[in-house]
Copies of this chain bind each other. A is one copy, B any other.
Amino acid sequence: MRIAILGFGSVGQGIARAILAKNLNITVTGLADSRSGVIDAGGIDLAAALARKGNGDPCGTPGVSPADVVAKADYDVLVEVTPTNVETAEPALGHIRGALRRHKHVVTSNKGPIALAYPELRSLAEANGVVLKYEATVCGAIPLIHAIKEGLAGNAISRLYGVFNGTCNYILTRMAAEGLTYEQALAEARELGYAEADPTYDVEGIDAAIKLVILANTILNMQTTLDDVERTGITLLTPDALRLAEDQDCTIRLIGEIVPKAGVLRVSPRIVGKAHPLVVEGTLNAVTVETDLAGDLTFIGKGAGSMETASAVIGDLLYIHDRYVQGS
Contact with B along A9-35 (1 / 0, CB 8 A): 000000000100010100000000000
Q: How far is the CA of A312 from the CA of B153 in the complex (A)?
A: 9
For A22, A150, A280, A314, the residue with the greatest tally of chain B CB atoms inside 10 Å of its CB is A150
Q: How far is the CA of A307 from the CA of B152 in the complex (A)?
A: 12
If A154-B318, A318-B153 touch, whether A277 touches B300 (CB-CB below 8 Å) is yes
Q: Are B302 and A299 in touch, CB under 8 angstroms?
A: no
Among B24, B142, B281, B292, the residue within 8 A (CB) of A297 is B142
Return chain B residues, CB-CB under 8 Å to A301. Answer: 294-298
- Across the interface, name the chain B residue whose C-beta is closest to A289: B301
Interface size class of A (residues with CB under 8 A): 35 or more
Q: Which of A298-316 contact B (CB under 8 A)?
A: 298-302, 305, 307-308, 310-312, 314-315
Q: How far is the CA of A297 from the CA of B286 in the complex (A)?
A: 10
Nearest CB of B to A24, in Å: 6
Q: Which of A239-278 contact B (CB under 8 A)?
A: 275, 277
Interface of A (DSSP majority class) = mixed
Q: Are A308 and B280 in touch, CB under 8 angstroms?
A: no
A327 within 8 A of B: no
Contact with B along A126-154 (1 / 0, CB 8 A): 00000000010000011100110011111
A197 within 8 A of B: no
Nearest CB of B to A159, in Å: 15
User: Chain A: residues with CB nearer than 8 A to chain B?
Assistant: 18, 22, 24, 135, 141-143, 146-147, 150-156, 275, 277, 280-281, 284, 286, 291-302, 305, 307-308, 310-312, 314-315, 317-319, 322-323
Nearest CB of B to A163, in Å: 12
Return chain B residues, CB-CB under 8 Å to A307. Answer: 292-295
Q: How far is the CA of A48 from the CA of B80 in the complex (A)?
A: 53
If A146-B151, A318-B153 touch, whether A293 touches B277 (CB-CB below 8 Å) is no
- Beyond A154-B315, A155-B311, A294-B302, 5 additional contacts (C-beta under 8 Å) are A141-B297, A150-B315, A153-B314, A293-B307, A294-B301
Q: Are A300 and B298 in touch, CB under 8 angstroms?
A: yes
Q: Are B141 and A294 in touch, CB under 8 angstroms?
A: yes
Q: Are B300 and A297 in touch, CB under 8 angstroms?
A: yes
Return chain B residues, CB-CB under 8 Å to A296. Answer: 301-302
If A295-B301, A298-B301, A301-B296 touch, whether A150 touches B143 (CB-CB below 8 Å) is yes
